[in-house]
Amino acid sequence: MILTGPEITTAATDGRLRISPFDTAQVNPNSYNVRLGATLLTYTSEILDPHHPNPTRTTTIGPDGHVLRPGRLYLGHTIEEVGSDTFVPLLFGRSSVGRLGLFVEITAPIGDIGFHGQWTLMLSPVLPLRVYTGMKIGQIMFFVSTGAIAPYQGKYQAAAGPQPSRLWRDTAPLPAQAVLS
């Protein structure tokens, strides 16, 4: 079951979900629009390695925007801190942004119950595209869960700004004999 716009507003008011800052003008019939924050991260290595931290470069989007280039992965973030201890949030790119050739959150749209923070956005442009701080970039829908809830306690909790992958914290290199077999 998905929350309708009026129920999103009610749940944000009574505390069953948190959207900060909350603006009723961003409520849709069954989602909430989120806006692009001012910081972008890009990886600086030619080859990324999930077994090690990967260095990044930080860019601040200026008043004239920032041009995203094809063939690059940009990590952005939402202005809004969004989370719920009750509902399952899913974030998708807005269709208006998709029509400009920008892929948002292709591989990781689901948020865990109990996560609260700014969402990191994986931005991949098909064509050069100028983006601006505060532009409506995505929309979050909230789904009712069933069963016992074990709130998220993970490594991205309370995220502020874009977060690079921390997969290396969970991954140990395989022994050589395991790789060969």
Q: Rounded CA gap, 39 and 61, in Å? A: 6
φ and ψ at 169, to 5 degrees? -70, -25
Distances (CA, A) of 155 to 16, 134, 142, 158: 23, 26, 22, 9
How far apart are the two ends of the chain, measured CA to CA in Å?
45
Q: How confident is the model at residue 116 (pLDDT cuts 50, 70, 90)?
A: very high
Spatial contact of 71 and 124, defined as CB atoms under 8 Å apart: no
User: What is the pLDDT at residue 174?
Assistant: 61
3-state secondary structure at position 13? helix
User: What is the pLDDT at residue 65?
Assistant: 98
Pairing, β 116-125 against β 136-144? unpaired
Q: Using only C-alpha atoms, what is the Rg of the chain?
A: 18
Question: What are the tens digits of pLDDT across the range 32-59?
Answer: 999 999 999 999 999 999 999 999 999 9
Which domains are delineated in the chain?
5-180 (2.70.40.10)
Give the predicted TM-score (pTM) of the model: 0.88
User: What is the pLDDT at residue 173?
Assistant: 60
